[in-house]
Amino acid sequence: MIKRVLIGILCGSAILTAGILIGHIGIKKSSSSAPSWVRDVAKDVDQSLIEKFLSEVDSVQIQENLRELTKVPHMATTAGDEQTVQFMLKRWQDPETGLDQAWREEYMVYLSFPDPKNPNKVTVVSPSDTVLHTAREKEKPYTPDQNDPEVVQPYAAYSPAGHVKGKLVYANQGKPSDYQLLSQTVDLRGTIAITRYGGAGRAAKAINAAPYGVLGVLVYTDPLDINDGLMSDVNETYPHSWYMPPSGVERGSFTTHFGDSLTPYLAAKEETYRIPVKNITGIPPIPIQPIGFEDAYKLICELGGKAAPAAWRGAFNCTYNFGGPGFKHTSVFNNSDVKLDIFNHEEVKNSSNVMGVIRGSVEPDRYVIYGNHRDSWVHGAIDPSSGTSVMLELTRVLGVFVKQGKWRPRRSIIFGSWGAEEFGLIGSAEYTEQYFAKLSERTVAYINVDIAVFANATLRASGMPSMQNVIFTAAKQVKAPGLDSTSVYDNWIQYANRTSPAHGTIPRVGYLSGGGSDYAAFVHYLGITSMDISYTYDRSKTNARIYPAYHTAYDTFDYASKFIDPGFVSHQAIARTAGNVLIRLADSLLLPLNCSDYAESLEDYLNTAVTLYQDDLKSSNISMEPLKRAVASFRSAATHLDQVIRSSDLANETPLKVRRINDQLMLLDRAFLDPLAFPDKYAYRHVIWASSSAGQPTFPGLADAFANAESSGKSTDWDKVHYHLSVLSQAIEGAAHTLVDVI
């Protein structure tokens, strides 16, 4: 009986247990079981996915992308450009390796071209109108690439057409101070000025010259600035090395604004209002033409007049004279003029952006944008196709993940292949104008990779301080090219570092304070947290101001694969680093943006401003205290938000909490926008990172206003300093308000 009872109890217990298990595991609780999205909304970045991504990025694929993209010259709106549009679309629409969707967007933009039938001419003409010398119209061919009939003649885009001649003078870099100094010795009225690249913006060299009565300007690249002094194509320059051959000419856009010149703040659609051409500002008022140093040498070394100061000298083995004006009496060019015959014309043409997206799964209304321009001056192997090759490899790897159903990012990713960047960042600027509201509201960050590889020594990164940390995290996970046991981060820190009060010695991340590439509209017009990265030089090995084939007909696949990145390993490192940042921005539960690092940069700027300006401001009765208080408020707000983040269990709290914090981080840069702060700087609205002419590592508007007031001494100019201090303090306080408790 006991046995039976025991058996009964045992059986009963077993049955009960089975029942409990069935009840617990087998039946879904209708009222309180968690909906499936509870897990989705808490998902964080997947480390194994990142590793898979890093291992899939293939240098050979990048090389083949580059080969394809550089088959023909692809200047904006040419047939070659259209070929790249089709190529991008084909790749991004590929059912196996493409994105969710890809399409083109077109703008009618104002461009400037030379006339293939009437090439621009630079000549030396004698008093009897005999042509004594004609500058090269085309760069000397070393490979079939230079012979492509689609290679555009070197020219200065947006230089007016015109026929001017006059005595030649040498004006160094064409800075205001250069013309001022020169004019103390030489009467510049009626002259032609030859200048070298560097020191001032392209258009500025002509804009600064015109008030002195200069009629035309030449510009060349001095071998000192680009070739570490080397000049001979017999054995020193390309195709023997990466250096610029004597006939190489840097083309470029000679405008100081960005975006389409005829449609300021408006997307350049067919029926959009266009300002009259005569109202365009920021372009050369007089003809300007770039030439090779081969021709510049012939002109400069024949100049008469006094010797220019030592700082004006380049690498030519002759004295750099100011010009009599004009040539030496002993020269074959004695008494001759230099003549510019410029036949540039302007045209409104159809330029395309190619856009592609991967839809986000959890927060599709949050965008991470990754972009680069597609158009080049000639074949553009490095600028911009190195970046485009990297972008295509990145989209291939991620596209395969998506198409195979292995991955979908938390947030949406938008890829932009911008058009007409070379003419003034036009495609990206028009895009931001057209979609201003949507992009402002939803964009987490913009990643720009234009020239992916300048050289193969080290990473170079610029960006908002809040992005520093995610760049570091990504760079630590990528092997430095050619150094299997060193990370990109560890390599980088040896080339460029600084001491951070918070982090000790760390790599130095630059700021995006100018308009160097397509990040400009995102940073300055929209206030979107942005970054720009590339692989670059060992500065102990070269002083080249940029890679020497920049904007020449030598920027080809041959050049890139032989001299810039043999094996495409630096390209691969950039693809891995940028892709890693992209995945982290798209997938992290908490956005990897750090507001305390922003505080550190503001404090740094403040300290500089106090050192430079406080005493002078005091004597003008202007207090820096509001600015100091604002920066202190920002620091304390950032510390507070970091504390909130640290003390939260974001994966288990309501997803509206992490969304709230992410919104604070995402919108931080927007708080620094003031559309009225810089009335003279087109589309510059970010009061911390706007461009500045004062050349001080501090708040740009304050620095410029101070420099101006200091030089004029006018009380209205000191008022402007005070005004800008208030603008700045209010913007920083306003940003701080967005970081403290939301209510």
Residue ranges in 605-644 that form contacts with a second copy under rule CB under 8 A: 623, 625-626
Considering beta carbons, is residue 611 or 726 the nearer one to a second copy?
A: 726
Question: In angstroms, rounded to a whole number, what is the distance separating the alpha carbons of residues 231 and 214?
Answer: 29
Contact assessment for residue 673 and residue 685, using Cβ atoms and an 8 Å cutoff: yes
Question: In angstroms, rounded to a whole number, what is the distance separating the alpha carbons of residues 101 and 396?
Answer: 13
> Residue 719, interface with a second copy (CB under 8 A)?
yes
Helix (H) or strand (E) holding 463: strand 458-463
Considering beta carbons, is residue 15 or 307 the nearer one to a second copy?
A: 15
Please list every residue from 410 through 429 that binds a second copy, using CB under 8 A: 412, 414
Question: In angstroms, rounded to a whole number, what is the distance separating the alpha carbons of residues 22 and 27?
Answer: 7
Rounded to a whole number of angstroms, the CA Rg of the chain reads 29
Question: In angstroms, rounded to a whole number, what is the distance separating the alpha carbons of residues 690 and 683?
Answer: 9
CB of 454 to a second copy, least distance (A): 33
Question: In angstroms, rounded to a whole number, what is the distance separating the alpha carbons of residues 368 and 365?
Answer: 10
Taking residues 259 to 288 in sequence order and writing x for each that binds a second copy by CB under 8 A, - otherwise, the string is: ----x-xxx-x-xxx--x------------
> Residue 723, interface with a second copy (CB under 8 A)?
yes
Q: Quick one: which of 15, 60, 277, 318 contacts a second copy (CB under 8 A)? A: 15
Angle at 581 between CA 586 and CA 60, to 5 degrees: 110
Place of tokens 């303090």: 729
Contact assessment for residue 200 and residue 272, using Cβ atoms and an 8 Å cutoff: no
Give strand ranges (E) for 240-321.
252-253, 288-290
> Residue 17, interface with a second copy (CB under 8 A)?
yes
Question: In angstroms, rounded to a whole number, what is the distance separating the alpha carbons of residues 536 and 454?
Answer: 5
Identify the DSSP state of 610: H
CB of 732 to a second copy, least distance (A): 11
Report the chain's terminal Cα–Cα distance, integer Å: 72
Taking residues 546 to 575 in sequence order and writing x for each that binds a second copy by CB under 8 A, - otherwise, the string is: ------------------------------
Angle at 68 between CA 62 and CA 71, to 5 degrees: 135
**Widest CA span in the chain:** 137
Q: Quick one: which of 3, 29, 278, 329 contacts a second copy (CB under 8 A)? A: 29
Taking residues 669 to 708 in sequence order and writing x for each that binds a second copy by CB under 8 A, - otherwise, the string is: -xx--xxx--------------------------------
> Residue 730, interface with a second copy (CB under 8 A)?
yes
Of the residues 56, 105, 302, 421, only one is catalytic, namely 421
- Token representation of residue 193: 């000025």
> Residue 104, interface with a second copy (CB under 8 A)?
no
Please list every residue from 156 through 215 that binds a second copy, using CB under 8 A: none
In angstroms, how far is CA 450 from the centroid of its own chain?
Answer: 7
CB of 713 to a second copy, least distance (A): 18
- Token representation of residue 340: 């510019």
Considering beta carbons, is residue 144 or 713 the nearer one to a second copy?
A: 713
Residue 393 falls in the annotated catalytic set: no
Considering beta carbons, is residue 5 or 310 the nearer one to a second copy?
A: 5
> Residue 381, interface with a second copy (CB under 8 A)?
no
Q: Are strands 458-463 and 530-536 parallel, antiparallel or unpaired?
A: antiparallel
> Residue 430, interface with a second copy (CB under 8 A)?
no
Q: Quick one: which of 104, 359, 545, 640 contacts a second copy (CB under 8 A)? A: 359
Is residue 223 reached through a cis peptide bond, with omega within 30 degrees of 0 on the bond before it?
Answer: no
Q: Quick one: which of 107, 243, 367, 634 contacts a second copy (CB under 8 A)? A: 367
> Residue 648, interface with a second copy (CB under 8 A)?
no
CB of 88 to a second copy, least distance (A): 19
CB of 738 to a second copy, least distance (A): 5
> Residue 726, interface with a second copy (CB under 8 A)?
yes
Residues identified as active-site: 421
